[in-house]
Amino acid sequence: MDIWVHTVVSLILTIILWPIYGPFALLALVGGVLIDFDHIINYFEKTKSLSLKKTYNYCMEIRDRNDEEEYKDLVLIFHTYQSLAIMIMLAVIIPILTPCLFGMILHLILDDIHTYYHFKKNLFIYRMIKSPADFLMYRRRH
């Protein structure tokens, strides 16, 4: 999904949460937008390039080609059940982090909808079930 969509939706969430959390509502942007930093990590592992433009183009090419196998092969460490569970625990322990959790959940829901729309099947689960161990194994292979 285009980063601008995540940004706009996260800004809307921030505005909604502002009366409750004040400036901490900006953490919704962290959970809703910066979660995609793992795309940069994944692209760097493949190419050794930190180019944001090339990372973005690579992700869009996967989508545009409807490359199901490449999509399933992505190892995105912040788009996992484990990362979500950690964020839930952090928000329980440190309640001011709740906007970050809400942003992350909204981001994952939007990604799931987007993935289903493009591939006509629920492939998002393939990325969500990967673990940090998968990331380490991926690093060893490449």
**Is the per-residue pLDDT at 135 higher than 80?**
no
Q: What is the mean pLDDT of residues 78-96?
A: 94
The pTM assigned to this predicted structure is 0.85
Note down the domain range covering 48. Answer: 3-141
Structural domain count, the chain: 1
What is the pLDDT at residue 70? 80
Work out the mean pLDDT of the chain and round it to a whole number.
87
What's the one-letter identity of residue 131? S
* Cα distances (Å, whole numbers) of residue 134 to 47, 127, 130, 137: 18, 10, 6, 5
Q: What is the mean pLDDT of residues 91-114?
A: 95
Work out the percent of the chain whose per-residue pLDDT is above 90.
51
Q: Report DSSP state, residue 94.
A: S
